[in-house]
Amino acid sequence: MLMVLRKWVWRMALRDARRGLKPLLLSMLCVILGVASVVTAFSFRDNLQSSIRTQSKSLLGADLAIDSREPFSSDAEALLASLGGDQSRQVSFSSMAYFPSSGSSRLVQVRAIGGKFPYYGALETEPATAVRDFQRRADALVDDKVMLQFNAQVGDRVRIGEQDFRIAGKLRKIPGEALAFSLISPRVYIPLGYLRQTQLVQKGSLVRYRVYFKFDSHVDVDQLVRRISPQLQRLGLQADTVSRRTEAISASMDNLSRYLRLAVFIAVLLAGVGVASGVHVYVKEKIPSVAVLRCIGANPRETVIVYLIQTFVLTFAGAVVGAALGAALHSLLPLALKDFLPVNASMPVAPVGVGAGMIIGLGAAILFSLIPLLPLRKISPLVALRASYETSERGKDPLLWLIFFLIVAGVAAFAVITTASWLHGLWFTAGVILAFGLLAAVARGVSALLRKLVPGFLSFPWRQGLANLHRPNNQTTAVMLSIGLGTFLLVTLYNVRSMLVNQVAEHSAKDEPNLVLFDVQKDQRQAIAEIVRSFNASFYDEVPVVTMRLAALKGKRVEELRDDPASRLPRWVLRREYRSTYRSHLSATERVVAGTWQGRVDGESQPIPISLEKGIAESLRVTVGDPLEFDVQGVSLRTRVASLREVDWQRVQPNFFVVFPEGVLENAPQFYAVVTRADSSGASASLQRAVVQRFPNVSVIDLALVLNTLDAILGRVSDAIRFVALFTILTGFAVLASAVLSSRSQRLKESILLRTLGAPWRQIVSSVIAEYMFLGLISGLTGAVLAIAASWGLSFYFFKTVAAISLPAVISIPLLVTGITVLAGGLGCWGIFRRSALEALRAER
Amino acid sequence: MKNSTILKVEHLSKYFKSGQQTLTVLNDVSFEIEQGSACAIVGPSGSGKTTLIGICAGLERPSQGSVLFNGVSMHLSGEEALARIRNELIGFIFQSFQLLPSLTALENVMVPAEIRGENHARNRAGELLERVGLENRLHHYPIQLSGGEQQRVAIARAFMNRPKILFADEPTGNLDAETAKEVVRLIFEINATTGTTLMLVTHDRDLTERADRVISLKAGKVVSDGEAKTHLAGQ
C-alpha cells in the first residue's frame, strides 16, 4: 500500500502517459456507458420511491376507501355514515360499451361515480373541464385508447346497457393507476345517478361497491381502520388506506426497479470486459518499458502500480463523465416506462444513484483492469535483453484467481442485495457466469480450432483472415463477448414475446371458439342462439353459471377462518364470489388429476360430489374427500371434493374453479355463457354489434381483442426492456470498436509487409472482411443459440408453456450484427488501405 | 582497487525447456571477477554470453550452480532483494539502449535514483549527462536522439546510482564504428574514475582490447579465460 504513496510511481505514471493513452480511451468509453446505466437505474428507483411518497394520497385519491362485493347492507351504511368525512361513491363492473357512430363495441370497465372523488390527484381529461361537469348530466368520460380505437370523438354517443351517454371527454390518466392497465381494461366513467338507467346492475352481476372518504388532516386513518376492523370483517367489507396502497405499489415498483438494476448490471460487466480488453492491449506495448524498469531496480509490484494509476485516473474520469451522462439520461427511463408507472416520476438526479454508479462502475473497472495488469509482476527483467524461452505461468497466479473470485463475489453480492433473495441472486449470478463463460469458451474453442484446422480449399484472403482470429493479441474473446451478449439479449427478448403471444394465438388458428358471450339471461338464450346462427357463426356450447359463496371449509365457518390468526388461507379464497357451473362431463380444456369425476347425482342427497380446479384446491388447502359448504344465494349446499381437475386456462372457453354434477343447480338463479366461433373479424364485429345492440347486458370476450391487447402490452414492455438493453448494446459496440482499433497497428504492419511482397489491396481488404465476417457470424450465432436455450429454459421453468422461437429475430439479428462487425472492422482499417505503404507508415508514426 | 572478489560464479549451468527438448545454454561455468576490473565476455552467437551476464546481474536464476555478488548469494535471493541490489549496486547497458520512450534524457537518467527515493536526483543526472556530452539534450526524448546519443544517455543512467559493477551487453552492437569508439571511451573513462567493475559482452575488438581479462565461451562452456592480449594474440 505504501508503494502507492511513493513519488516515483506517480511521476513515472505521469511521464509514461505522455505517449498517449489512446488505447485506454475506448476503455474509458466503456466505463462511461457502464456508470451511466447504473446511475440511470439507481436514480430511477430513488425517484420512483420519492414520487410514490410525495404523491401517496393521489395513489388512492382519498384518505380511505371501503369496498364491498355486494350492495351495502343497512348495517354497513350505518357504519359508513358513522365515519363521517366527505364521501364519494363508486360502483364498478365490466360491460360492453357500444359506439353507435362506428357501430363498434368493446368490453370496458364501467365506473359509476358520485361525489367529489378524487380528493387528491386528478382525473386527467381532454378537455380538462370535462371531469368537472360530467356528473351533472348523462355524460361519460371514455378512455382515450378506446376512443382512438373506434375513432370516437368528444360529443359522440356511447351506449352502456340501456342508457346512452354523451362522451364529455377523453380520459387520459386516473390517479394511482398505470396507463398500461387501460390496454387490458379500458375505463368509462359515468355519473352514479344514471347507473340505474343502464339496467346492468342486477342480482348476480359481478359488481364492486366502493366508498371514498376524505377526512380532516388530524384524523389518523390507519388507527381508525384498526378500530373498525372487527366490524368490517363482520360485514364483509374491505378497507384500503393510503399507507396500504403506498406499501403495495412501492413493493411492486421496487420489484420493477430491482430487475432494471439487474439488467443494467450486465452493461457494467460488459464494460469491465471492455476495460480489460483495452488495458490488455495497452500494457502489451509497455512490456519492454516494464522490463527496463525491473532491470534498473523497480519492484515488481511498483511496476503494476504505475499502470494501475494511469488506469485508475482514466476510469475515474470516465466514471465522472458517466455519472454526468447518467444524470442527463435518467429522465428518459421514466418516459420509457411511463405506461407502467402509477405516478409521475420526478426528475432530479438522486445522489444515491450517482454514488452507486461511481462505486459500482469504478469498482468493476478496477477489478477487470487488474486482470491484464497483475501479470506485469511476472515480466522478467530479462525481456529487456531478449524474449524469454519459458512461457509465463499466468494460469498459476493465485492473485489473479483472487481477482476472478472478487468479480464473481461482487456479481453475487450485487444480485443478492438487489433481488433481496439468495436464490434469485445466485441464479442470476450463475446465469451471468454461464453466459459469459460459454461465449468465452466458444471464442477460445474457435481460436484453437482455427489454429489447428484451416481448410486448405479456402483462398489466401480467407485463410489470412481466419488466421487473425487466433494470432497473438487477437481480440476474438472480447468481440465474442460484446457481440454475442448483445445478440443473446435481443433474440431472447423477441423469443419470449413470441412465446407469450403464441400461447394465445395458437388457439385462434385452430377450429376453436374465439368468442364468449357472458351474462346471457335465461330468457335471452334462444334469441342469442338465433343471432349467432344468423351470422353463420359456429355454436359450440351454452354454459350455465351460478354464483355462490363459500360458507364453510372442512367443518369450520368462513368467519372463523377469517378471524383465526393461525389460518394461512389467503383471504381472497374465503371472500370471493364463486362462479360455478354444472355438467355431466368434462370439457375439452380439463382433465381429472385426482379422485373420480361424478357427472350426475339424483335427488337431494348431500354431500354433493363436486370437482375443484387443482390450483384453487391448493389455495383452499383441501383435497379429495374434504367437505365444503356453499351458500347459493341463501341456500346452503353441503359438498364433498370428489375430484381435482387440471384446467387449461389459456383456452378461450368458460373454465371454472368449481363444477357441480347435474341434478343439483338446475333450478338455481343462473345466467349463461355462450361459446361460439366467428370465421372472420368482420363476422365477429357484426355479431358483437348485433348482440350488444339487442342485449346491452351481455359482455363479449373476443380472442382477437385479447391477442391485440397482449401484443400491445408486450410491445410496450419490449420497448422499455430495449431501452434498458440499449446500454448493454452500446457498451458492446464500444468493446467492438476498442477491439478493432487495438489491432490497427498490427494490421498496418501486416498490410505493409504483404504489399511489399506483392499482394494487391483487394486481397488485404478481403482478408479483413473475411476475419470480421466470420467473427461477427460466430458471435451472432452463438448469442442466438444461447438465446434459444435461455428461451426454452424460461418457457419450461418460468412461464410453464411451450417454447417459441422468433425465426425472423433468430435469423436477422445475427446477420445484422455480422454486418455491423464487418462495418466496424472496415472503418477501423480506414486510412490504411487508401494510402501507399510508406504513407501509411509515416502517418501512423 | 583490485583487492577483493566482487563476483564469484561457481559451476553455473542454465537449461531451457523448449517443447520436449532441453536446451543447455550454460554448462558448468566458473570464474571470479575482481573489484574494479574490466572483463570482456566473448564468443560466437548462441554461446550463452547474454544468458551469463543476465544471471550474474540477477535478471535470471541459474538452473544449477551459484552466483555470489558482493557477498550476497544472488541465486538464493528473492525478487525484492534482487530488485534492490539491481537498483543500488548494479548498472546495466543494453545493446538496444532500452531508454524509456516517454521520458526525456534527463528523466531517464533520474529514474534509478527516484526508485531509490532520492529527492535530488536531478542535479546528479544533469552532471552525468554533461559528462557524456549531452548537456544540450537534457529535455529531448529518445526518439529525438541518435543511436550514439541514446547509448550515452543509457551510460549516464547506468552510473546514476554509483554501481559497484556495470554489465553491458554488446553496448556498441547497434552503433557505427566512430560512435562505438566514443562509447567505449566513455565507459572506460567512467570506470577509471569511479572504480566500477566492468563485465562486457562484446564482439567489438576495441572494447576487448581495453579489457583486463577476456572469458571466451563456446556452446555454453568457458573455453578460455585470460588476459586480453593473450586472447587477441590467439585470434
> Which of B98, B115, B169 is nearest residue A297 as measured by Cβ atoms?
B115
- Whole-prediction pTM: 0.77
DSSP state of A743: T
Omega within 30 of 0 (cis) for the link into A607: yes
Whether B228 has a pLDDT exceeding 90, the answer reads no
Measured at the alpha carbon of residue A66, what is the angle toward residues A62 and A68, in degrees to the nearest 5?
145
Q: How far, in Å, CA of A771 to CA of A227, rounded?
A: 75
Q: Which CA distances in Å does A332 have to A345, A686, A718?
A: 11, 43, 16
What per-residue confidence (pLDDT) applies to A432? 86
Verify whether the Cβ–Cβ distance B60 to A380 is below 8 Å: yes
**Residue A797 φ/ψ, nearest 5 degrees:** -95, -30
Nearest to A169 by CA among A135, A210, A212: A135
The answer to whether the beta carbons of residues A90 and A79 sit under 8 Å apart is no
Instruction: Return the H-helix or E-strand segment holding A799.
Output: none
Centre a 10 Å sphere on the Cβ of residue A149 and count the other Cβ atoms it contains: 16
**Ordered DSSP codes for A443-463:** HHHHHHHHHH---TTS-HHHH
Q: Is the dihedral of CA B55, B60, B62, B66 positive or negative?
A: positive
Q: What are the tens digits of pLDDT across the range A711-768?
A: 777 777 777 677 767 777 788 888 888 777 777 777 777 777 777 777 777 877 888 8
Nearest to A9 by CA among A302, A316, A313, A312: A302
The B-side interface with A (CB below 8 A) comprises 16-18, 23, 50, 54, 57, 59-60, 79-80, 83-88, 90, 92, 94, 98-103, 107, 111-112, 114-117, 157, 161, 169
Distance from CA of B196 to the nearest CA of A (A): 16
Q: Which amino acid, residue B206?
A: D
Q: For residue A213, give the C-alpha cell.
A: 372518504
Q: For residue B72, give the C-alpha cell.
A: 550476497
Cβ-Cβ contacts under 8 Å, A302 against chain B: 115
Indicate left, alpha or beta for A696 from its phi (over 0: left) and psi (-120 to 50: alpha).
alpha
Higher pLDDT, A839 or B80: B80
Q: Are strands B213-218 and B38-42 parallel, antiparallel or unpaired?
A: parallel
Verify whether the Cβ–Cβ distance A295 to B102 is below 8 Å: no
Q: Is A671 helix (H, G, I), strand (E, B) or coil?
A: strand
Length of chain B, please? 235
**Ordered DSSP codes for A597-624:** ---B--TT-SSEEEEEEHHHHHHHT--T
Centre a 10 Å sphere on the Cβ of residue A222 and count the other Cβ atoms it contains: 14
Indicate left, alpha or beta for A555 from its phi (over 0: left) and psi (-120 to 50: alpha).
left
Verify whether the Cβ–Cβ distance B111 to A8 is below 8 Å: yes
Q: What are the tens digits of pLDDT across the range B188-226?
A: 888 888 889 999 998 887 788 888 899 999 999 999 888
The answer to whether the beta carbons of residues A295 and B97 sit under 8 Å apart is no
The answer to whether the beta carbons of residues A191 and A112 sit under 8 Å apart is yes
- In a mutational test of the A interface, the residue from B59, B120, B174 whose CB has the highest number of chain A CBs within 10 Å is B59
Q: For residue A256, give the C-alpha cell.
A: 420493477
Q: How far, in Å, CA of A498 to CA of A769, rounded?
A: 34
Cβ-Cβ contacts under 8 Å, A385 against chain B: 50, 54, 59, 94, 169
Q: How far, in Å, CA of B161 to CA of A790, rounded?
A: 63
A378 touching B (Cβ < 8 Å): no
Cross-strand partners of A613 = A645
- In a mutational test of the A interface, the residue from B22, B90, B92 whose CB has the highest number of chain A CBs within 10 Å is B92
Strands laid side by side in the B213-218 sheet: B90-93, B165-169, B197-201, B38-42, B213-218, B221-227
Q: Number of CB pairs < 8 Å for A and B?
A: 92
* Nearest residue of chain A to residue B98 (CA atoms): A292
A295 touching B (Cβ < 8 Å): yes
- In a mutational test of the B interface, the residue from A295, A305, A306 whose CB has the highest number of chain B CBs within 10 Å is A295
Please report, to the nearest 10 degrees, the dihedral formed by the alpha carbons of residues A111, A117, A122, A126 taken in order.
Answer: 50
What per-residue confidence (pLDDT) applies to A262? 78
What per-residue confidence (pLDDT) applies to B198? 93
Q: How far, in Å, CA of A432 to CA of A271, rounded?
A: 14
Verify whether the Cβ–Cβ distance A8 to B114 is below 8 Å: yes
The answer to whether the beta carbons of residues A307 and A287 sit under 8 Å apart is no
DSSP state of A725: H
The answer to whether the beta carbons of residues A31 and A283 sit under 8 Å apart is no
Q: Estimate to the nearest angstrom the gap between the alpha carbon of A737 and the chain centroid.
A: 30
Verify whether the Cβ–Cβ distance B116 to A297 is below 8 Å: yes
Distance from CA of B101 to the nearest CA of A (A): 8
Q: Complex ipTM above 0.90?
A: no
Cβ-Cβ contacts under 8 Å, B117 against chain A: 6-8
Nearest to A86 by CA among A112, A120, A121: A120
A845 touching B (Cβ < 8 Å): no
What per-residue confidence (pLDDT) applies to A843? 57
DSSP state of A388: -
Distance from CA of A303 to the nearest CA of B (A): 11
Cβ-Cβ contacts under 8 Å, A306 against chain B: none
* Nearest residue of chain B to residue A291 (CA atoms): B98
* Nearest residue of chain B to residue A378 (CA atoms): B79
Q: How far, in Å, CA of A271 to CA of A288, rounded?
A: 28
What per-residue confidence (pLDDT) applies to A508? 58
Cβ-Cβ contacts under 8 Å, B17 against chain A: 389-390
- In a mutational test of the A interface, the residue from B55, B95, B103, B167 whose CB has the highest number of chain A CBs within 10 Å is B103
Verify whether the Cβ–Cβ distance A297 to B100 is below 8 Å: no
Q: What are the tens digits of pLDDT across the range B105-145?
A: 999 999 999 888 887 789 999 999 999 999 999 999 999 99
Mean pLDDT per 10-residue interval, chain A, length 845 residues: 75 87 83 89 79 80 90 92 93 90 87 90 87 88 88 92 93 77 82 91 78 92 91 86 84 76 82 87 87 89 91 92 88 73 69 88 92 89 66 67 92 87 87 88 88 76 81 79 84 81 65 82 89 85 89 88 78 84 90 92 82 93 93 89 89 85 89 87 84 84 76 72 75 80 73 72 82 90 90 77 83 90 82 62 56
A16 touching B (Cβ < 8 Å): yes
Task: Work out the mean pLDDT of chain B and round it to a whole number.
Answer: 88
DSSP state of A661: P
Distance from CA of A284 to the nearest CA of B (A): 15
What per-residue confidence (pLDDT) applies to B1? 34
Cβ-Cβ contacts under 8 Å, B99 against chain A: 292
What per-residue confidence (pLDDT) applies to B119? 76
Please report, to the nearest 10 degrees, the dihedral formed by the alpha carbons of residues A80, A81, A86, A91 taken in order.
Answer: 50
